[in-house]
Structures are given as C-alpha cells and as structure tokens.
Amino acid sequence: MQSYTPAKSSLLSAGESGRAAGGKIMLPFVKKIPVSEPTLLGNEEKYVLDCLRSNWISSKGRYTQTFEEAFTSFCGVKHAIAVANGTAALHVALLALGAGENDEIIVPTLTYVATANAVTYCGARPVFADCEFDTWNIDVGQIESLITQRTKGIIVVHLFGHPVDMDPLLKIAKKHRLFVLEDAAEAHGAVYKGRKVGTMGDAATFSFYGNKIITTGEGGMVTTNSDVIAERIRLLKGQGVDPQRQYWHPVIGYNYRMTNIQAAIGLAQLERVEELIKRHRHNARLYSELLKESPSLVLPVEKKWANHVYWVYGILLKDSHQSRNQVMEDLAKRGIETRPFFYPVHLMPPYHRKISLPAAEMISAQGIILPSSANLLKDNIRQVCQELIDLLQRRSNLAQSKE
C-alpha cells in the first residue's frame, strides 16, 4: 500500500498533539474543514438580544415585517412573505397557485426531495424531468413532452445557485397556461439576464436553513408580484385566520409562521448578503483556477447570461478509475468534509418511477460538493484542492498499474 502525506496545514505535529496520561502517544489531530457553516458576524446577536429583552420572541414583533420588507427590496419584487422553512414556503405557494388533487406538476428529478414532497402534500403528482449536463438544472427542452391534460404547473430549481434558462421555459408555460414556481432555496441573489431569481415566475420560494447563503437557522420566504397570491399565502401560513375577525378560520390553514427571533437573524444576515455572495463567488473562482487542469474533474459552469452565486461548489468525477464514495471517505480522513449530490427523486422509494433520466442519474452518481462556506480562507481552499488533486492522481496511477 502506498503511503500518503496530508497537507501540513491540516495536521498538528506529533509534539502539538501531545501525549495521553501514562505517556501514550496520541494520533495527530486532523483539523476539519466543514462542508458548510453559517457566517454570523453582523448584527445577529444584537437583534436577537433585542427580541429577548423586549419579550417579542414568537411570530409577533417588528423583525418579521422588517425582514419581509428588506427581502422585498433585495429581490426587487412586490411581496415577500416569511414562513417557517423552505418546504413550508413551497407548500403554501403551491396551494396559493391552485395545485390540488389529481394535478400534475413538472419538477426536476435532480433536486432536494422537499420539492417533490411539497407537490405531494397538495395531493398532486410530481412528474420528473431530466437535467442539463452542463448547468445541472432542469432540461427545458424536455418539458413540453411531459405536459398532459392534467399538468397544472412547473417548478424550476435554480440548483446550487445557477439560474435556470427562464425565457424559453416561461414561453412554454404561457403557451400551455401553466403556473411557474421558482424554487430558489439555493440561489439567493442569483441573476438571469439582469433579473434576480424569485421575480420571474408566478411565485418563488427561498430557504434560510443553516447552510444557505443567508440563514435564519430554519426559515423560508415566498416572493410574488401578485396581490392575490400574496394574500392567499398570508392566510394559509397563519392557520387560516381571518385578518378582520379574530379566531375565525374560513379555510384550513397551517402553522407556518416565522418567529421574530428567526427574522431578527435573517435581517442581520440580509444586511451583509452582497458581501456573502461576493465571498461565495470569489471562493468558486479560486476553486476553478486551482482545479481546472485536473483531467479527472468536471467543474461547474456559469452561462454568459447568468450570475451564479455558488451556494455550494460541486464537481463531477469523470475518471472511470475513481469511486465517488471512496474519494469522499479519503478526503474525510484528511479532515475535509464533503457531500454527495442529491439522489434523483425518481429513484427514491416514495416516488419510484420506471423511467430513465440518464443525465441526472450520471451527475448524481459522480457529484461531490466541496467545502463551500463564505468563511473559507484561501489556505483552506488550496488545501482542499491539493489534497483532492493528489488523491485523484495517486488513485489513477494505482489503477493503471494494475491494468
């Protein structure tokens, strides 16, 4: 077995690792580079303490409305409605758009399962589309072939922060009188031909989970330019209570409200969102520069009409000698945390379809998400790249020596 020397910066020396009681030598401590972590360096603590000291900690309080107003301005949209999480945002948005029993909603199979789950919550059926080989987003050219008499709408997912090619998709939707819901959970601030995501469909949803570009811990947002849709969402997210008649519920609603504490964190995050996006893009450029010569990798693209925010930096292994899971395990041993790409939803037990969506299946099987936090230092990225390149080269050499 060939030996491997990890990058020096990832380990403490034997002297630094010390000795346990009785003089037993301890193994070197591997400093972990996480795949993602929040960046809480602004007014988060100040605003949360204000909530605690004022006793406004639940869904009432000034921060929720202020956060909504600030997010409206950030996106350039008429309405932004805060909810408990990104999945709740999808659910109430679909309900407000009229999705219901026996409807079909076209969704990309390469997405987080929440996209399909929200469709199912409404009693509708997700119809899965394959993805593009380059952007990894929904294959717009395939959509029209999936439309039936039951098709009600299309959900597009701006996967990993790269916008979907919206103009041809919107043209298809208009032709067939379908709604378009943007799942922008991973794409805060991404831009398509000068328009921010979250402004082009009938409605859009965002997630503020702890690993997103901005976070509230848990939390979500629905954006829309429609007064009718916005009013419906506000009714549904608050148990369906009539805003003019206390404790009167004209519809079945949901407890999907965002707390004032969550909104306080979100507002502080939003104050620094441009800086965070800039860091994500800068880190992605450095990754691409350091990895571009590797013959074993396919790197993410940025179309000329897009402003990719690189929520995460994903790569594909194209070398047949490489096992994706083994590469991830080997990186973990060197203190580098990674994640696989999402599994195609059509392969999961609740949604299993006897169909082949080859692009999504291939991309999912070969995809690795590298550490992607805005907190990353240049030295962190250099270490990740050096470890990855060395590992792939050694594994390739070993495989070729056995042929």
* 169 and 213, same domain (yes or no): yes
User: Are residues 65 and 111 located together in one domain of the fold?
Assistant: yes
Question: How many structural domains compose the chain?
Answer: 2
Could you tell me the pLDDT band of residue 320, with boundaries at 50, 70 and 90? low
Whether residue 22 lies inside any domain: the answer is yes
pLDDT digit string, tens, across residues 210-242: 999 999 999 999 999 999 999 999 999 999 999
The lowest-confidence range among 17-26, 309-318, 322-331 is 17-26
- Let me know: does 297 contact 291? Beta carbons within 8 Å: yes
Share of the chain above pLDDT 90, in %: 87
User: Rounded distance, CA 362 to CA 29, Å?
Assistant: 36
Let me know whether 211 and 225 are in one domain.
yes
Residues of the domain holding 69: 44-270
Q: Are residues 252 and 282 in the same domain?
A: no
Residue 1 covered by a domain: no
With 80 as the cut, is the pLDDT of residue 370 above it? yes
pLDDT at 91 over 90: yes
> Domain with 389 in it: what CATH number?
3.90.1150.10
User: In the predicted model, is pLDDT for residue 295 greater than 80?
Assistant: yes
Is residue 397 very low, low, confident or very high in pLDDT (cuts 50, 70, 90)? confident
Average pLDDT of span 338-352 = 97
Query: How do residues 167-204 score in pLDDT, each as one tens digit?
Result: 999 999 999 999 999 999 999 999 999 999 999 999 99
Please check whether residues 25 and 111 belong to one and the same domain: no
Which of 236, 270, 304 represents a domain boundary (last residue)? Answer: 270
> Between 273 and 17, where is the model more confident?
273
Residue 240 maps to which CATH number?
3.40.640.10
Q: Can you give the pLDDT at residue 20?
A: 41
Residue 352 has pLDDT above 50, yes or no: yes
> How confident is residue 31, by pLDDT bands cut at 50, 70 and 90?
confident
3 domain residue, yes or no:
no
pLDDT per position as a tens digit, 136-158: 999 999 999 999 999 999 999 99
pLDDT band, very low/low/confident/very high, at 399 (cuts 50, 70, 90): confident
Distances 72 to 189, 197, 277, 323 between C-alpha atoms, Å: 12, 12, 17, 44
Range 284-310 average pLDDT: 97
Beta bridge partners of 338: none
Q: What digits encode the pLDDT tens for the residues 110-126?
A: 999 999 999 999 999 99
Whole-prediction pTM value?
0.91
Among 241, 270, 299, residue at a domain's last position: 270
Which helix (DSSP H) or strand (DSSP E) does residue 155 occupy?
Answer: strand 151-157
Query: Mean pLDDT across the chain, nearest whole number?
Result: 92
Task: Please check whether residue 294 lies inside any domain of the structure.
Answer: yes
Whether 89 and 221 share a structural domain: yes
One domain, residues 111 and 145: yes
Residue 302 has pLDDT above 60, yes or no: yes
pLDDT score of 290 more than 70: yes
pLDDT at 7: 39
Residue range 297-303: mean pLDDT, rounded = 98
d(CA 327, CA 391): 8
Q: Span 66-90, mean pLDDT?
A: 98
- Dihedral angle, C-alpha 308, 310, 384, 36, nearest 10 °: 170
> What integer is the mean pLDDT of 374-387?
97
Residues paired with 181 in a beta bridge: 155, 203
Q: Is residue 171 part of a domain?
A: yes
Instruction: Measure the CA–CA gap between 63 and 130, rounded to whole angstroms.
Output: 40
Task: Note whether 288 and 334 are same-domain residues.
Answer: yes
In a domain, 2, yes or no: no
Among the three residues 235, 270, 305, which one is the final residue of a domain in this structure?
270
pLDDT of residue 62: 95
Give domain status of residue 146, yes or no.
Answer: yes
Based on the fold, state whether residues 247 and 165 are members of the same structural domain.
Answer: yes
Over residues 352-367, mean pLDDT = 96
Same domain? 313 vs 211? no
How far apart (Å, rounded) are the C-alpha atoms in residues 239 and 385?
Answer: 49
Residues 310-330: what's their mean pLDDT?
90
- Mapped onto helix, strand or coil, the DSSP state of residue 81 is strand
Q: Please list, in sequence order, all residues whose beta carbon lies within 8 angstroms of the beta carbon of residue 216, skipping any fewer than 6 positions away.
A: 208, 258, 262, 263, 265, 266, 269
Do 103 and 219 belong together in one domain? yes
99-106: average pLDDT: 97
Indicate if the pLDDT at residue 314 is higher than 60.
Answer: yes
Q: What residues contact 230, with CB distance under 8 A and at least 6 apart?
A: 78, 79, 81, 222, 224
Indicate the length of the chain as a whole number. Answer: 403
- Which residues are CB-contacts of 254 (< 8 A; sequence separation ≥ 6)? 88, 91, 92, 236, 237, 239, 240
Q: CA dist 132 to 161, 178, 215, 225, 228, Å?
A: 15, 22, 29, 29, 34
Contact yes or no for 100/72 (Cβ under 8 A): no
Rg (CA), the chain: 23
pLDDT category at 369 given cuts 50, 70, 90 is very high
**278 assigned to some structural domain:** yes
Query: Does 169 lie in the same domain as 290?
Result: no
> Tokens 């203190």 identify what position?
335
Q: Is the pLDDT of residue 105 over 80?
A: yes
DSSP state of 344: P
Q: Which pLDDT score, from 0 to 100, does residue 24 have?
A: 47
Report which of 338, 207, 184 is spatially closest to residue 269, judged by C-alpha positions. Answer: 207
